[in-house]
Structure 1
Amino acid sequence: MSQQVDCPKCGNKELKKGIIRAALSVVHMFPENNPRSKSSPISSIYCKSCGYILESYIDHPERLED
């Protein structure tokens, strides 16, 4: 998680981590040149008050090596 301590949109200090889902499964990131290789889930940090997404990142970047 970044060093951000409050929401830049509303100023709330309660930030949460969540996963991005599509229908019934978690969205995954794949390497562009090999979409059938290993993948990693995508997580986000969001404001509990207004829902603003501060950042999104892949949980296991080492899995996306070429």
Structure 2
Amino acid sequence: MTNENVQCPKCGCTEFGYGKQGGYATVNANGKLNLGSPMMFVICTDCGYVLESYVTKPNKFKGTTKY
């Protein structure tokens, strides 16, 4: 997160860390055969609240089907 004025909505902390889901826990595109994309997280370093979650390879989800 680049905005210096961002606060955690749970505890008000302004310091955040970044994490990546480990192992084989990837998000796979629905209706496509691919290796998926890792999940990344922006986490409050005080209370652990997850402020953001996103995939690192969003292009793998283009043209996917709903459910």
**Bucket of the pairwise TM-score, normalised by the shorter protein:** 0.7 to 0.9
- Structure number having the greater strand percentage: 1
Pairing partner for 1:30 from 20, 28, 31 = 28
Structure 1 runs, 4 residues or longer, greater than 3 Å off: 1-4
Aligned length: 62
TM-score by length of 2: 0.75
Which consecutive residues of structure 2, in runs of 5 or more, have no partner in the other structure? none
Unaligned runs of 5+ residues in structure 1 are none
String of CA shifts for 1:13-66, please: whole Å, max 9, x gaps: 001111123xxx1521111112x3141110111100110111211111012223
RMSD: 1.9
Whose radius of gyration is greater, 1 or 2?
2
Identity of aligned residues (%): 32
TM-score normalised to the size of structure 1?
0.76
2:6 partner letter: V
